[in-house]
Structure 1
Amino acid sequence: MKISIVGAGRVGTSIAYSLLHRKIANEIVIIDKNYEKAYGEALDLYHGTSLLKRCNIYAGNFQDLKNSDIVIITAGAAQKVGETRLDLTKRNYEIIKEISKEIKKCANESIIINVTNPVDVLTYFLWKELDFPKNKVIGTGTILDTARFRALVSKQCGVSPASVHAYIVGEHGDSELMVWSSATIGGVNIKDFCKVCNRKNCRNLRDIFEETKNAAYTIIEKKGATNFAIGVVTAQLVESIFKDEKKVLTPSTYIDGIFIGFPAIVGKNGIERIIPIEMDEFEISLFENSKNIIRKQIEEIEL
């Protein structure tokens, strides 16, 4: 498998590092406008391959996108002091447009994964610019948010994260929501599980959701950026495609004319099927609100 990563920042290199440990790539090319940075990162990663799976890792240019099975986009501008979220989104949109032109020329058969934020909005524009089938353009969506919530719940409840089946859906942002109606631990509704749990001094699960929603702000305040967990999440997404695992994840996928985080089966063809999880009326209203927020952001860019 050949994987191209556009962007040699913290996120791009964390993804490359996680992919190495998944042992699924034969070739990884890192592309960045700062070639020397990409070269240094690729060389550093390559030196570890003798202890992992053999993999040719190198810095390249857009022509090296050719024959990529998957192209991962992490390139984006950092927010400037005094810059609004809309201003930043517009700048990242221009970056996405330029990358799309190169993908169309060199990698028009690839599956595309977008990580750059705001991920739902930019994944939509990436799809529009590429004119690829909807199933082959994927954003990381709320996969990370869901993983964070499961990790925190597993720690509190004393169970494996693999036994926590709960989804955070919607915008990867402040309007995301926890689908309590479908959340279970070991097949037991999460609320019922808490009633029979004998652990003491447990936090309210809704407080854990709020911690999950604000996790990025906390991490950025402490260390400047989030990168390791999104690296693991993106590598898992790639592995599910490569191995045709058909895992149910919550990528940003096409629903009602936009891209938004929602449970979907991910396999060799990209997004294979949306999973119609149960939501109560309140959760549906929150999800519709999240859709409208994404639509508004798209409209602001299109003006």
Structure 2
Amino acid sequence: MSLRDNLLKEVAPSLSVKPSSKISIVGTGEVGMSSAICILQKSLADELVLVDKRADKVRGESMDLLHGSLFLKSKITSDTDCKATQDSKICIICAGVRMKDGRPDKNLLQDNIAVFKEVIPQVAKHSPNAILLIVTQPVDLLTYVAWKLSGFPRTRVIGTGTNLDTARFRYLLGAKLKVNPVNVHTYIIGEQGSGSVPVWSSTNVAGINLNDLVRDISKEHVNEIHKRVIDSGHEVIRLKGSISWAIGLSVANIVDAILKNLKCIQLVSTNAKFSGVPRTLPVFTAGNILDRCTHGTPTKPNNYKGEHNIKADVFLSLPCVLGATGVCGIIKQQLEEDEARKLRSGVENLLKAQQEIVL
């Protein structure tokens, strides 16, 4: 008899039960593993799968986590083959070449497209009903690539986008005002990176609009804080070599919203193509990719606000309602003219880059 047979008497046969919240992470670098530990600490997955083509790396990371099984509530497995991701609810893609000094170089996109051509079709094949969460940089363009390669509906392909940038913005603004960032409500939208757009016009603390309080100096404030948001990632990389914990927490927060069907709003990269054109919209031409509604009344002189309508398959960050099906809705934000202009500029930048992508 085996040791187990001596230990206990089996009174019912063991059943093989499919996990109900299986999460797979492809790429076990620092970002992938920080995402893994944040997900495990929140007990979001009943099974967490780590996949990496580097056999020793993925085995070592898996062993390290398994040695802490006493403190966790998830089954942990690992493999070098994407087949291990089969029947995942969410597949998190962290695989790819890392940015040097936190700044993308001209070869980064092409190198990571090559990685995605290998990974995404395999993940889509084994988990055809999964939600893809793209973390690899440049995130907007690679989320577009993942959408094209997977053939998934646009609602089930999401990028981390400006979710972390928004968290940094709220933290820095909260620190300046000496209030907890949970009470600071503001967003950074559009193209992730230096072309992102801080929506200062609707920034508020406890419902008090800061733009109304300091209108004469608001641009100076927002530009200063936005620059710190953009530079902070580079500063962390300079100091410790890489960004890991903050993006891991951001990933876990997005996963939490999806798995629990929370319907909360997150700043994620989504296909922002307008799904229907209201009758009051102007006619779109080839040179007018993004425009705004002409209806409505300005609330302040020279401060017209209106909805932005994107007429191309471009992935960028907007306030999205996240639930079990992925992106359940996109908030119809109103922007000031300067904010809308910057958003249009980001769309044009992304479309220009997309045109050069060959899949």
TM range (shorter): over 0.9
SS of residue matched to 1:13: helix
Q: Which stretch has the larger CA shift, 225-234 or 72-81?
A: 72-81
SS of residue matched to 1:4: strand
Compared CA separation, residues 64 and 245, structure 1 to 2 (3 A): same
Q: CA deviation at 1:205?
A: 4.2
**8 Å Cα contact 1:46/1:55 also seen in 2:** no
Instruction: Describe how 1:40-189 pairs up with structure 2 within 5 A.
Output: 40-52=60-72, 54-60=73-79, 61-79=81-99, 85-189=105-209
What whole-Å deviation, never above 9, does each CA across 1:106-165 have from its counterpart, x for those lacking one? 111111100000000000011011110100000001000000111111122122211111
SS of residue matched to 1:289: helix
**8 Å Cα contact 1:251/1:260 also seen in 2:** yes
Work out the CA distance in 2 between the residues paired with 1:138 and 1:74. 13
In the alignment, what sits opposite 1:214? 231
Number of residue-to-residue matches in the alignment: 294
Work out the CA distance in 1 between the residues paired with 2:327 and 2:165. 19
What's the % identity of the aligned pairs?
36
What whole-Å deviation, never above 9, does each CA across 1:168-218 have from its counterpart, x for those lacking one? 0111111001011111111111234569xxxxxxx9343122100121111
| Counterpart check, 1:297 vs 2:353 | yes
Instruction: Describe how 1:138-287 pairs up with structure 2 within 5 A.
Output: 138-192=158-212, 204-256=221-273, 257-287=313-343
Work out the CA distance in 2 between the residues paired with 1:194 and 1:236. 32
**8 Å Cα contact 1:39/1:58 also seen in 2:** no
Question: Which structure: larger Rg?
Answer: 2
**8 Å Cα contact 1:120/1:252 also seen in 2:** yes
Work out the CA distance in 2 between the residues paired with 1:233 and 1:193. 30
Amino acid corresponding to residue 235 of structure 1 in structure 2: A
Work out the CA distance in 2 between the residues paired with 1:122 and 1:204. 32
What whole-Å deviation, never above 9, does each CA across 1:73-108 have from its counterpart, x for those lacking one? 000113579x97232101101111111120122111
Q: CA deviation at 1:242?
A: 0.6
Note the residue ranges of structure 1 that are not aligned, 5 or more in a row: 196-202
Amino acid corresponding to residue 261 of structure 2 in structure 1: D
Work out the CA distance in 2 between the residues paired with 1:131 and 1:165. 35
SS of residue matched to 1:11: helix
Work out the CA distance in 1 between the residues paired with 2:314 and 2:112. 18
Structure 1 segments of 4+ aligned residues over 6 angstroms from their partners: none
Compared CA separation, residues 170 and 29, structure 1 to 2 (3 A): same
**8 Å Cα contact 1:28/1:57 also seen in 2:** yes
Q: CA deviation at 1:30?
A: 0.5
Work out the CA distance in 2 between the residues paired with 1:84 and 1:193. 37
What whole-Å deviation, never above 9, does each CA across 1:226-258 have from its counterpart, x for those lacking one? 111000000000000011111101100011311
Q: Alignment RMSD, CA only?
A: 1.9
Name the TM-score, length of structure 1 as normaliser: 0.92
Note the residue ranges of structure 2 that are not aligned, 5 or more in a row: 1-20, 274-312
Q: CA deviation at 1:221?
A: 1.5
